[in-house]
Amino acid sequence: MIVCDSKTTDGRRVYAIGDIHGCLNEFKSLLNLIEQDLNTHPVPEYKIVTLGDYVDRGPDSRGVLDHLILLQKTLPLICLRGNHDQRMLEFMDIPDEVGASFLTYGGRELLQSYGVEVTSAKSLKMMSQQLKAQVSSSHIKFLDSLELTHQEGDYFFVHAGVKPGIALDKQTPDDLLWIREEFLTHQSPFEKVIVHGHTPRDEVDIQPNRINLDTYCFDTGVLSCAVLEGNVVRLIQTDPVNR
């Protein structure tokens, strides 16, 4: 438990979840831990914010999207957009512009989760068309609906980060989805504490001006959640697995 200067609105708790990347089992385990936490520490109002990158790399991108769509019907869930979620949409529209790097950055596993076979004999365009044929309209609608940012009290939630020196409401989608070093090395305060993922680290990284919740779940099995309430930050994480 860490006590800090930043606060959520009184009586309100936020569970912020890092990059899931197709790890449906870990996501379900984490949701169980959150449910247990809500039972042991009841609160008048709470929200769950997922920080984007639902697809690619891990084994079940399709299952993660199905589960998020289901949960949105019953939980106070806010799903933000990650660069990989955006890439998935782009790959279905403009595969040649996205390029073959799509496959090496986890797209291979994404395609396989939708039953699309990846072989060197197939063009990107062909795989793109086969993916489109398999992806249900509810998944497209979900991906289209993802917001770039969310705010609660003194916290600003976003997938990658923000560009230093630019007001939070003037950031470009490109920076919000992709920024790394310029944001991560920035030491001074931002307008709010930035809660983000995108750049994986061995441990949750809690700095005075930002909190990084991406802990390589697709590789380590550790999916991380920050529980923000009043001026306290707690962590909930799934156990590591051997892959």
* Nearer residue to Mn ion within complex by CB, 61 or 83: 83
Q: How far is the CB of 46 from Mn ion (least distance, A)?
A: 25
Measure the CA–CA gap between 116 and 139, rounded to whole angstroms. Answer: 16
Nearest-CB residue for Mn ion: 198
Give the Cβ contact number of residue 218 at 10 Å: 21
Give the Cβ contact number of residue 133 at 10 Å: 11
Q: For residue 15, give the nearest of 72, 70, 67, 77 by alpha carbon.
A: 77
Q: How far is the CB of 76 from Mn ion (least distance, A)?
A: 24
* Nearer residue to Mn ion within complex by CB, 163 or 198: 198
Map tokens 């983000």 to a residue: 196
Q: How far is the CB of 212 from Mn ion (least distance, A)?
A: 11
| CB-CB contact of 58 with 112 (8 Å) | no
Q: For residues 120, 125, 130 and 132, what is the CA-based torsion angle, rounded to 10 degrees? A: 140
* Nearer residue to Mn ion within complex by CB, 13 or 150: 150
* Nearer residue to Mn ion within complex by CB, 6 or 194: 194
Binding interface with Mn ion (CB under 5 A): 53, 82-83, 198
Q: How far is the CB of 198 from Mn ion (least distance, A)?
A: 4
Q: How far is the CB of 226 from Mn ion (least distance, A)?
A: 17
Please give the angle made by the CA atoms of 148, 150 and 155, to the nearest 5 degrees. 130
| CB-CB contact of 2 with 229 (8 Å) | no
* Nearer residue to Mn ion within complex by CB, 200 or 221: 200
